[in-house]
Structure 1
Amino acid sequence: MMGFDQRIIDFNLSLTLLFFCFLSSLLGKEPLGNSQYPSATLVIYNQNVGDSRKLAAYYAGKRNVPFENLIGLKCSTEEIITRSEYKKTILEPLRKQFDANGWWERKKDSQGNLRAVHTKMKFAAIMFGMPLKIQSTVSDSSKQKSSTYRGPGENDAASIDSEVACFNMDFPRLNGAVSNPYFRSTDPGGTPDILLTSRIDGPNYVTAKRLIDDAIAVEESGLWGMALIDIANLHKEKGAAYKIGDDWLETCNGFYQKAGIPTLVDRFSARVPKGFPLGKDIILYFGWYTQNAQGPFVDPAFQFKRGAVAAHIHSYSASTLRTTLKNWSGPLLSRGACAVLGNVYEPFLQMSTHLDLFNARFLAGFTFAEAGWIATPVFSWMQVMIGDPLYQPFIIKSNIEAGKDNDYKAFSIAVLRWASEPKKLISNLDKAATSLKSGKILEATGLLMMSKGKYKDADEMLKKASLLYTNSEDQLRVCLLRAQGKMRGGDKVSAMEILSNAVKDFKGSPGIDAVRSISEQMKKE
């Protein structure tokens, strides 16, 4: 296999061309590099929060955003505000700034509403310290205690970010969601009447600042590692309306397979269990459906790989960001995620961010904010994106070098190059793993074969991976994958035997709880 018999692999031309072919099949257009966007990026901070001002200056310096693009607003220091507060302290001051700086041109549409037809600003980075959400104006005497129970046409609760995203549109009535003209677009940079918002935020200032540093660092090297998909099978319990969530996740899994990103897929109805040995290379996590983080995501020992992107579908996943344990967005950020998608209130599933569409655009090299809003059907609603809006880890580069993450780069090259020749693909991956002494390549190959239903061949690859791994966490993960492969292949007896042996072989390991949990789930099937 040419190139894989050397420790240093010539990635520069082959990987770039292969990724270009894959991304073109997803999209058909090449995204713009984010170096073009700093002058079109607004930085919004809270003058009443010292760390908000400090973070705004830090971000502007790191991204080369002009000083005049920083806007300080005097608003509440609380995460939740009223709509009147939003209008007085955020909306109206922003519009005044746009008027004063000549940043937009607005005209009336056919309904007589003012809309921007041209704007200099395309992105907005909302800083730590800015309010997060607008509370519903449901009367205190109403039996309806939260926005959850109001229909989408009568609900005036929303995330601050979603409101700012459509502040260019001047609607007389803001109750309910507003259609997003950028939804499903294939064009970078948004449209004149929207602002591509994302907030640099988190449980604390240190976490928020890390999002900036991680994004910029990972853009230099690219994002290489494994994906984790946690499918809930909710439609079996709650009805067909919930199938769309699992469909999104299945589609994401398909994208990762085609891109050569090794993917762990949990198909049990319960979430990924406590103690599951995920390792240190998870770069993408998408799953659902519990109110609060659980399993590995509340374990301080688990950390995402630098630059990771994550989302857990739940109505209140981002109800607050000032937490490391409650809901999902805060905990995911505290576990090292660099960019997270969430909801501040009930969004209704089909009106939330479509994770399959988000992944299609993000893998194609669009920025985090572009991919997020392309995948979101409505504005003035519940969605929030936490991370650098310009974060762009999958942009096509002309100088991807060997060195760090060679295993994942080699696997991706092989998958993209020999996708139509499966026998040659497996043979070359086997040779690459032998040459590089890489358990990671063998594990990735086993996962790929499992996804194709070739469970016997996958088991052989996983056994070989276990022999090359020296870390007990990696070895235990391979055992669990082998058991799942046996189970999916119809050999429940062998699956249970592997798990039984793992309890003895890995006695005292933090992952034993996961072994027992998976064993119990398999017994029920």
Structure 2
Amino acid sequence: MNTRYLAALACALLIGALTPAARAITEDQVLLLYNSQNADSLAVRNMYVALYPGVRQFDFNDATIPTQFCTRFEYNSKIRLPLLNFINGVSAPFQDISSDVVVFLTTRGLPTRINGGAEFSLATSFASVESELTLIQQDLEVAGNTALPFRYNGVIDNPYHLNNTVPVTNFTRANIKQPKNFTIVGPTGGEHWYITNLTSGDFYLTCRLDAQPYGTTTALQNIQALLNRSQHLVVSKCMVQCLFDEYQPGANQLDDDDLPPRFPLRDDFEKATQFLTNQGYAVTHDETTNFITGPELPDNRPILVLGSYGENHDIAPGAENAPGDGEYLDTYTFDPAAIFVSFESFNAHDIAGQSGSDHEQVTDFIARGGSFTVGHVAEPFTVFVADAEYLARALYLNGRTFAEAAWIATPALSITNVPIGDPLATVTVVDTFLADVVENGTVDVDDLNAILSNWQVNVGVGDRLDVANNDGVINVDDLNVILAAWQISCP
């Protein structure tokens, strides 16, 4: 049985009957960034405009822009300056749209990593292009102090972090061009930036469209598939499961770190488990030496949320290494609306032209059918890894767009994180368990018999037996839904 197909069908069956969650961000609040001198970038631009004809666009039109990584000088001169002039009305068409734009969307073919120094120090000057663009209106070249020589050194506190109940468009953007007050806080060796008057409306959200080849499909084909499925993402709670896999307690668990005063302690995987369990999802939270692969899960339902230590699972004494060499995602099947967060420093190195150092790559997750992830183009430090709990809260509970969810979940700005996914994508969550035809709480032989005893009968669209909710005729579509959910129970 092709379980990947059946799982996708089971989710897709609801699409015709449901309307996606309302978007807080509109098409014309997204500025699509591309380089027409790069074939991949132009191709992705064409894909996105075909689906969202109302988006704003900016073409760098520069054959000299690097495609994977750049220096800070190249970022400032070839990316930041021309884009800043465009949105501020300094260059053609001389219209100030600085407060109208909410999201910058970058494309495959544009660089994603800004190279720097001191990568493994909290004074690092490495960053992702996407993270640096959030503060494009601020001058990050201003000098700091000995600990943080410039504003681009280290990280900057994100005021939108954990604010999952408020749409970003609720915040005024009238002051986005106003110079802000940067101050250095934190203990010696842990200094970081805090902008005292920065609000959630004073910076730009960013996302990137990218993927890797997978099997016989190309990177561009996988980006197109991402965009196609992102148009209608519907989750039935009983048809999915979640996995949080970390090593044993007492071994400095990676998702428990903090950096006072701006980044308090959060046990992310534990909190995500509590939230999703309370919402009615099936959750496996493993804190043993075992690395949990797909075949070790309780059943074959696709994964909705995967939080993992990945190739770092074996750094605790006696803990098992992930299978393969950055290939553990191959063991899972993902729901189309799935989230992936991993505590792996280099999980977006592939799109930055760097070695992944055996870490799984977030763009592989996109190629394997997931839709929402935040990766790292250089060392992110564990405290700044995106929060799985708040990605899930924002997307599955509060109806936020992915652009909002990504930055609600990301603790800092001017960092190495890169959100990958459609910024306008939203998720509709339903409690209805359509495969349980006889409504006894479990998909079993009674449901199968109900389908088979009415085989080829035209019961009409919307009838309880038309579980595929597509044509009103009881046929193989309805049978496949039953088989995909076999023996699954829903309270």
TM-score, scaled to structure 2: 0.65
Displacement of 1:294 in angstroms is 4.1
Name the CA shift for 1:384/1:268 in 2 (closer, same or farther; >3 Å). same
Name the CA shift for 1:47/1:431 in 2 (closer, same or farther; >3 Å). closer
Give the Cα separation in 2 of the matches to 1:407 and 1:161.
41
More displaced stretch, 356-365 vs 378-387: 356-365
Residue in 1 that maps onto 2:471: none
Give the Cα separation in 2 of the matches to 1:69 and 1:340.
24
Residue in 2 that maps onto 1:233: 247
Residue in 2 that maps onto 1:444: none
Per-residue CA shift, 1:129-187, capped at 9, x if unaligned? 11111111x3xxxxxxx502x22xx2211011101122122332322212222223232
Displacement of 1:61 in angstroms is 2.0
2:347 is aligned, of 299, 302, 317, to 317
Aligned residues: 372
Per-residue CA shift, 1:319-362, capped at 9, x if unaligned? 22379975331332232211212122222222332222222222
Name the CA shift for 1:474/1:79 in 2 (closer, same or farther; >3 Å). farther
Per-residue CA shift, 1:202-223, capped at 9, x if unaligned? 11222222211111132xx446
Give the Cα separation in 1 of the matches to 2:347 and 2:329.
18
Residue in 2 that maps onto 1:58: 47
State the secondary structure of the residue aligned to 2:341: strand
Residue in 2 that maps onto 1:195: 204
Give the Cα separation in 2 of the matches to 1:198 and 1:355.
17
Name the CA shift for 1:474/1:272 in 2 (closer, same or farther; >3 Å). farther
Contact 2:241 2:301 in 1 (8 A): no
Give the Cα separation in 2 of the matches to 1:54 and 1:392.
23
Displacement of 1:315 in angstroms is 1.9
Displacement of 1:318 in angstroms is 1.6
Correspondences of 1:1-12 after superposition (within 5 Å)? none
Correspondences of 1:458-477 after superposition (within 5 Å)? none
Give the Cα separation in 2 of the matches to 1:56 and 1:161.
16
More displaced stretch, 383-392 vs 306-315: 306-315
Give the Cα separation in 2 of the matches to 1:50 and 1:80.
17
Residue in 2 that maps onto 1:266: 286
1:349 and 2:382 matched: yes
Give the Cα separation in 1 of the matches to 2:408 and 2:61.
28
Contact 1:223 1:307 in 2 (8 A): no
1:281 and 2:333 matched: no
Displacement of 1:275 in angstroms is 4.4
1:176 is aligned, of 154, 171, 175, to 154
Name the CA shift for 1:183/1:193 in 2 (closer, same or farther; >3 Å). same
Residue in 2 that maps onto 1:366: 400
State the secondary structure of the residue aligned to 2:59: strand
Give the Cα separation in 1 of the matches to 2:442 and 2:390.
35
Contact 1:43 1:56 in 2 (8 A): yes
1:406 and 2:415 matched: no
Contact 1:287 1:311 in 2 (8 A): yes
Residue in 2 that maps onto 1:213: 228
State the secondary structure of the residue aligned to 2:281: coil
Displacement of 1:199 in angstroms is 0.5
Contact 1:231 1:246 in 2 (8 A): no
Q: Which amino acid aligns with 1:147?
A: E
Correspondences of 1:101-250 after superposition (within 5 Å)? 104=96, 119-136=99-116, 138=117, 147-148=119-120, 150-151=121-122, 154-171=123-140, 172=142, 173=150, 174-185=152-163, 186-189=165-168, 191-203=200-212, 204-218=219-233, 221-222=234-235, 225-233=239-247, 235-238=249-252, 242=256, 247-250=267-270
Displacement of 1:240 in angstroms is 9.0
Residue in 1 that maps onto 2:80: 91
Unaligned residue ranges in structure 1 (runs of 5+):
1-10, 17-30, 106-117, 139-145, 411-427, 439-468, 479-525
Identical positions, percent: 20
TM-score, scaled to structure 1: 0.61
CA RMSD of aligned residues (A): 3.9
**Structure number with higher helix proportion:** 1
Residue in 1 that maps onto 2:421: 387
Name the CA shift for 1:243/1:351 in 2 (closer, same or farther; >3 Å). closer
Give the Cα separation in 1 of the matches to 2:431 and 2:344.
39
Give the Cα separation in 2 of the matches to 1:294 and 1:334.
20
Displacement of 1:119 in angstroms is 0.6
Per-residue CA shift, 1:30-64, capped at 9, x if unaligned? x9822751011110112331121121122122023
Unaligned residue ranges in structure 2 (runs of 5+):
1-13, 143-149, 170-199, 213-218, 259-264, 314-320, 450-481
Name the CA shift for 1:241/1:263 in 2 (closer, same or farther; >3 Å). closer
